[in-house]
Amino acid sequence: MKEMGCKQNWGAVAPARLVSTRKSSTCPMLETIVEEGCEN
């Protein structure tokens, strides 16, 4: 359930539009940003 928390945190920082885009299509670049955000 770590991903859930990450999504919540990321959503608070990133625009809703970007979060929506990430949901509709898997973008490696966005994935990396989310992963890094969870690490810190």
Q: Given pLDDT bands bounded at 50, 70 and 90, which one contains residue 34?
A: low
User: Can you tell me the distance from the alpha carbon of 16 to that of 39, in angstroms, rounded to the nearest whole number?
Assistant: 21
pLDDT of residue 25: 54
This prediction has a pTM of 0.16
Alpha helix (H) ranges present in the chain? 2-13, 16-24, 28-39
pLDDT of residue 28: 55
User: Can you tell me the distance from the alpha carbon of 12 to that of 39, in angstroms, rounded to the nearest whole number?
Assistant: 16
